[in-house]
């Protein structure tokens, strides 16, 4: 049924569950699976750099962020391997998350997007996070929001 699945992960438990669901589907249908994380580009102003130096925080913020991204994708890749998915790759893009996820999926000919219904935000009472909400609205293909 699904030949080409994109799963969006942001490091949240919800997204990891989404990766498990996407992996189970990919394993069952023999789909290609792409694990996608959208990151921010950090702009470090001279003021922020001075503050970091004063606080002896000398690591590059972009490097810390890239390291986090790597860990997020590694955890999701483990879920895919555990489920026996044979075709899995990881991608990182920069931009507004929802739009970037949908554009990536469309350009890569995906027929389903799998994501968590919630993410790292913790708005109590919200049924869907803003990214899952926007993706469901913007995408022309099937969107599965994992609860
Ligand atoms: N930056 C991102 N990159 C990739 N996937 C994301 C990103 N942000 C959110 N997602 C996906 O969207 C799901 C819902 O997150 P979101 O709508 O941001 O909820 P919340 O508002 O609770 O953070 C996440 O579980 C994840 O699958
Ligand atoms: Mg979020």
- For residue 115, pLDDT beyond 80: yes
Residue range 32-71, pLDDT digits in tens: 999 999 998 778 888 888 888 887 777 777 777 888 999 9
Ligand 1 atom at minimum distance from 14 CA: 25
Question: Can you point out the beta strands (E) in 1-147?
Answer: 4-8, 32-39, 88-94, 112-116, 142-146
Place of tokens 């219904």: 117
Buried b / exposed e across 118-134, counting CB within 10 Å, b at 16+?
A: bbeeeeeeeebbebbeb
Indicate the CATH number for domain 4-41+72-146.
3.40.50.620
Residue range 70-91, pLDDT digits in tens: 999 999 999 999 999 999 999 9
pLDDT for residue 134? 97
* C-alpha closest to that of 146 among 14, 23, 11, 8: 14
Residue pair 104/98 in contact (Cβ under 8 Å)? The answer is no
pLDDT for residue 55? 79
Q: Which whole-number Å values give the CA distances from 55 to 52, 58, 59, 64, in the listed order?
A: 5, 8, 11, 16
Q: What is the mean pLDDT of residues 21-32?
A: 98
Ligand 1 atom at minimum distance from 132 CA: 17
Per mean pLDDT, which range of 22-31, 71-80, 99-108, 126-135 is the poorest? Answer: 126-135
Residue 30 Cα, ligand 1 centroid: separation in angstroms? 25
**What global pTM score does this model have?**
0.91
Q: What is the mean pLDDT of residues 7-20?
A: 97
């Amino acid at each position: 049924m699904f030949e080409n699945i994109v799963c969006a992960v942001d490091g949240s438990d919800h997204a990891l569950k989404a990766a498990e669901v996407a992996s189970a589907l990919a394993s069952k249908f023999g789909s290609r699976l792409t694990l996608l994380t959208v990151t921010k580009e950090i702009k470090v102003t001279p003021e922020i750099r001075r503050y970091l130096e004063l606080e002896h925080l000398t690591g590059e913020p972009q490097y810390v962020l890239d390291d986090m991204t790597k860990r997020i994708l590694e955890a999701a890749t483990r879920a895919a391997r555990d489920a026996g998915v044979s075709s899995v790759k990881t991608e990182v893009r920069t931009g507004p998350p929802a739009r970037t996820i949908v554009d990536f999926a469309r350009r890569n000919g995906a027929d389903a997007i799998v994501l968590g219904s919630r993410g790292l935000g913790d708005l109590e009472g919200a049924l869907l996070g803003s990214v899952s909400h926007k993706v469901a609205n913007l995408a022309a293909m099937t969107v599965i929001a994992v609860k």
